[in-house]
Structure 1
Amino acid sequence: MSVVARQGFKYSIIGYLGFLLGTVSIFIFMNDLEFYGTLRYIMPTAEMLVPFVVFGISYANVKFFPKVDKDGKRQNMLSLSLALVFINFIVFLCIFFLIPYFFPGFKNMKAWKIKEIILPLTLMLSFCAIFNKYISNYKRIVVSNIFDNLFPKIANLGAFLIFIYLVSRYTETSPIPERIALIFFFGMFALMFVGYVFYTNKLEKIKFDFSTDYFKKDDFYKEFAAYSFFGFLGTFGNYLAINSFMIGEFLGMEENGIYSTLYALISLVSIPQLGLFNISAPIISKNLADGDMEGLDKFHKKTSLTLYFLGAVLFSCIMVGFPYLTYFMPKNGMMLREYEPVVWIWGSAVLVDLATGFNGNIISLSKYYKFNIIVMLLLAGLTIALNLYFLKNTDLKLIGIALSTAISLTTYNVIKIIFNYFMFKVSPLSIEMIFVSIICTLAITVAIVLPNFSNNFINLIYKPAVVLILIFIGNYFTKVFPIEDYLNKNFIKSIFKFK
């Protein structure tokens, strides 16, 4: 079994375990949405600050690894990268603490009030970002996936359980439960950092080399810095972190908890996307190198249709099952039911994203990669502007955030579709997608109008089952998606083959 096959299989297993852990945790987090919202505010806020500290250096560690590896300067690049991150963090701290002198209102923000954990976490995640990209050069992705996927979920769940346990043993106003829970939360990320160091050292013994002679030679540092800067600009499209931060600041931690819970449910729609882009990258690169735009277009349409069909099936099941799922959640389940439009709006935006396939990868792997950076900045700017509008000028609250996300994400994808069509003559869209939309819409409609049973568990099972049956029947007659290629013995056997 090859290294790539082993790593790919294990990567998928870890990814699904992480998703399963996150899904099961939803029912636990519903017991105290405010504290869960606090946890989900801290992590995205730190993630939003990390790019200002890392400044794209992590991406340069991948770009220039072949060069420094050839020259025997791997450790030199790693050492200087870590040193630069630490220096950047010191500069960032100075700016952060100077902001209140120019904008006194900054002290009223939640990010300032809980800076004692956000700032150290930002530094920890920044170091981890360097090690993560550096390790990827050795074609080792499983351990990194454990750190990035499982550790944050364990941190959330562990901190929450500690908080719930201690709350029952202290007075309602006592700060001790939250402090101890947050110490555990931060401790998990500190452990993740130690794990990264240990694993990197296991791959290759770390020998710190802070000499700058190699980077000064032929002005290599300028090339390194320029690429890092473009990498930095390309990290501003994390609309999920932006949303969590703005919801926490404008609406409160309870609403942030609801938002995070709904996101965990909607992310189910994106499961078919797992691993696709890593697998498709070599094929895209080859088609671009060979100038085979016709082959790229066929591959693009086929992949996009697969993603859209599978995502639409999952989304349809969520739509008809969500109202009944809330009855089995703890006391706050009905609060989720009130925000059912968020699921419809946001889920539809995710489906549009799936339908566009690997649009961004085509641009990133071409000579027009800088265009992707511009579009990412547009996505971030549009998301922030729309969030501010809906939060300040309407009473839509989370529905407004969902509309903002849908508008910005759809705009982002439409721009990439147009760009790819004119530059490469490729498009992810096909007539089959219209048939998929019609079939799924009819299936959802029929399932909704069918009578409900008095038992909500039966409704939770039978409504999605009706959707699946109707979609299967509709697809059988239209032949839109080749289900028979996947639901057969040979395909199932092939999953466990690695050659």
Structure 2
Amino acid sequence: MGIIIKQSIRNATLTYLGIGLGLLSTIFLFPHILGAEKYGLTRSLIAITTISSQIITLGIPNTILKFVPTLEKDQGVRSQFFRRVISPSIFILIIYVTSFFFFESHWLSLYADSPLLEVYLWLVIPMVFASTTFSLFSAFIKASLDTVFATFLQDVLLRILILIFLVLYFFDIISFPHFMLGFVSAYLINMLILLAYSLSQKYYLLSTSNAYSSFDLKETFTYSFFAFFSGFTMILVSNIDLIMVDMFEGLENAGIYALAMYMGTVITVPRKSLAKIIHPILTKSFNENNLDEIKRLYTQSSINQLLFSLIIYVGILTSLDDLYRILPIEFSEGKPIIAILGLAYLFDLATGSNGQIIITSKYFKFDFISSLILMIGAVLLNYFLIPRYGLMGAAIATATSVGLYNLTKTIFVWFVLRIQPFKWHTLSIIVLGIVCFYLGEFLNIGGHPILSITIRSVIIGTTYLGIAYMFRLSDEFNTTIEELVVKLKSNN
């Protein structure tokens, strides 16, 4: 578990730095500089790009994560494997670009109520190309247990680049059309840097080596097909609501919803930092038939994700009024959306790495059926609820979909492996979170909203983490703190 904890801490540090930059731009800059409509435009383009990239990669990043650790470490063999498995993505990307321009009038008609999106919809093409390439190359690098640099690019540098173009637009150095071009170029720059890094680390992934390898392409592509639905399901459910809000309610409401959705998904950061390194470890454990290790990882992922995501959720809920005092008044409709989406993602995190366990096991085909049902259900729920209940309808549809999907996966893992992620500490963490929530509600600090948020967060966070450490609710958390104290003492 040492390598997991070590790289998880590094990934978490970078990811939280990215979250900090994201909060800075999301709360203080984007809404004030762009307004709801233009902010909605950028979020809609990202949502369309995210879904499109998932379709194009067709589960291949998961395939790379699963099979590369099992290959011999000869770079020629791995390069040959990489070239072969990405060939379907290249083919699908060509079809995607061709169909986009061939059916352009049809795609534009879907956004008749969003004229601004009609103007800039073509920017999806370079964004999809950059995102797809980044996803494929970063998967190989992560499969080699080299996860930190890709995390830096994705969570930190990308936000910095976009922030630079936003500031240039604010000072009228560039126009809005030029800002949009800069927005897209940030994705392309990120992609190019990752390609350069892969060469510098001697990941010659596109070399023409014909080194012999015994890997079974049929097995890998079969796995890709089924793994695709596992990754695509949550991507679709997490983005289709925003796209359909744009279609039914327009870009301004999409901007309001996107901001609330962003705040609601901030709590998923603990999973992001852990998931990037735990996947290859699970693959290795299944190959060795080490069920005890899998059970241990399952429980640890649940406890640690719940511990850290719950305090973030509580912190956000108790600071909502102050947060929306900072934002333009037009965004205030998003308050209840944050609470609903946050609760759904909290349950997702509490169920641990159930999805990763399924897709790295011999039962990975189960995701095909469950994911297909969920995707259809998510689209239908949004289709019927958004026209009737607006933004609240979208939030309820997404929360329902996420909740049912994770409940299904948890039950399935228990049924086939007889393991579940919960223990008594799970209940203790929930009780602690409830206590800290009421503590935050009791604190009436007043003054400037930023000062109020800061003081309240420090009090709640110190209380929560202090009690968690005192009662050793997470062995990994206590170990990390104790190691940090030892290092500080040794430095002094």
Aligned mates of 2:475, 2:144 — CA distance in 1? 37
Q: Which residue of 2 aligns with 1:412?
A: 405
Q: Which deviates the most, 291-300 or 184-193?
A: 291-300
CA 1:121–1:495: 2 relative to 1, 3 Å: farther
Q: Which residue of 2 aligns with 1:14?
A: 14
Please give the per-residue CA displacement for 1:140-196, whole angstroms capped at 9, x wherever unaligned: 323222222224323432333333333xx8xxxxxx822101111122222222223
Q: How far apart are residue 89 of structure 1 and its match?
A: 2.2
Aligned mates of 1:106, 1:441 — CA distance in 2? 43
Q: How far apart are residue 318 of structure 1 and its match?
A: 1.8
**Match for 2:159: what amino acid?**
K
Q: Which residue of 1 aligns with 2:441?
A: 448
Matched, 1:129 2:135: yes
Aligned mates of 1:193, 1:416 — CA distance in 2? 33
Aligned mates of 2:355, 2:220 — CA distance in 1? 23
Q: How far apart are residue 78 of structure 1 and its match?
A: 4.5
Q: Which residue of 1 aligns with 2:343?
A: 348
Aligned partner (choices 315, 318, 338) of residue 317 of structure 1:
315
Matched, 1:233 2:229: yes
Aligned mates of 2:60, 2:299 — CA distance in 1? 35
Q: Which residue of 1 aligns with 2:166?
A: 160
CA 1:297–1:414: 2 relative to 1, 3 Å: same
Q: Which residue of 2 aligns with 1:120?
A: 126
Matched, 1:87 2:91: yes
Alpha carbons 1:14, 1:146 under 8 Å: kept: yes
**Match for 2:374: what amino acid?**
L
Q: How far apart are residue 292 of structure 1 and its match?
A: 6.5
Q: Which residue of 2 aligns with 1:172?
A: none
CA 1:418–1:117: 2 relative to 1, 3 Å: same
Instruction: Provide the identity percentage.
Output: 21
Matches within 5 A, 1:42-121: 42-63=45-66, 65=68, 67=71, 70=74, 72-79=76-83, 84-99=88-103, 105-106=109-110, 108=112, 113-121=119-127
CA 1:385–1:194: 2 relative to 1, 3 Å: same
**Match for 2:55: what amino acid?**
F
Q: Which residue of 1 aligns with 2:375?
A: 380
CA 1:134–1:280: 2 relative to 1, 3 Å: closer
Alpha carbons 1:39, 1:156 under 8 Å: kept: no
CA 1:116–1:445: 2 relative to 1, 3 Å: same
**Match for 1:164: what amino acid?**
F
Q: How far apart are residue 264 of structure 1 and its match?
A: 3.4
Q: How far apart are residue 317 of structure 1 and its match?
A: 2.2
Aligned partner (choices 184, 196, 206) of residue 182 of structure 2:
184
**Match for 2:94: what amino acid?**
I
RMSD across aligned positions (CA): 4.1
**Match for 1:17: what amino acid?**
L
Aligned mates of 1:98, 1:487 — CA distance in 2? 57
CA 1:377–1:474: 2 relative to 1, 3 Å: same
Please give the per-residue CA displacement for 1:356-391, whole angstroms capped at 9, x wherever unaligned: 112222222321122234333333332222111111
SS in structure 2 at match of 1:29: helix
Matches within 5 A, 1:260-299: 260-278=258-276, 280-281=278-279, 284=282, 297=295
CA 1:144–1:326: 2 relative to 1, 3 Å: same
Alpha carbons 2:108, 2:118 under 8 Å: kept: no
CA 1:419–1:62: 2 relative to 1, 3 Å: closer
Alpha carbons 1:45, 1:244 under 8 Å: kept: no
Gaps spanning 5+ residues in structure 1: where? 170-175
Alpha carbons 1:81, 1:130 under 8 Å: kept: no
Please give the per-residue CA displacement for 1:12-61, whole angstroms capped at 9, x wherever unaligned: 43222212211221211120232222111112211211233333444444
Matches within 5 A, 1:238-253: 238=235, 239-253=237-251
CA 1:56–1:199: 2 relative to 1, 3 Å: same
Aligned mates of 2:466, 2:224 — CA distance in 1? 51
Gaps spanning 5+ residues in structure 2: where? none
CA 1:102–1:72: 2 relative to 1, 3 Å: same
CA 1:261–1:307: 2 relative to 1, 3 Å: same
Aligned mates of 1:101, 1:489 — CA distance in 2? 57
CA 1:445–1:146: 2 relative to 1, 3 Å: closer
Q: Which deviates the most, 236-245 or 443-452?
A: 443-452
Aligned mates of 2:472, 2:430 — CA distance in 1? 11
Q: Which residue of 2 aligns with 1:173?
A: none
Matches within 5 A, 1:387-426: 387-392=382-387, 394-395=388-389, 397-426=390-419
Aligned mates of 1:30, 1:157 — CA distance in 2? 13
Aligned mates of 1:454, 1:200 — CA distance in 2? 49
Aligned mates of 1:472, 1:135 — CA distance in 2? 33
Aligned mates of 2:77, 2:294 — CA distance in 1? 37
Alpha carbons 1:41, 1:245 under 8 Å: kept: yes
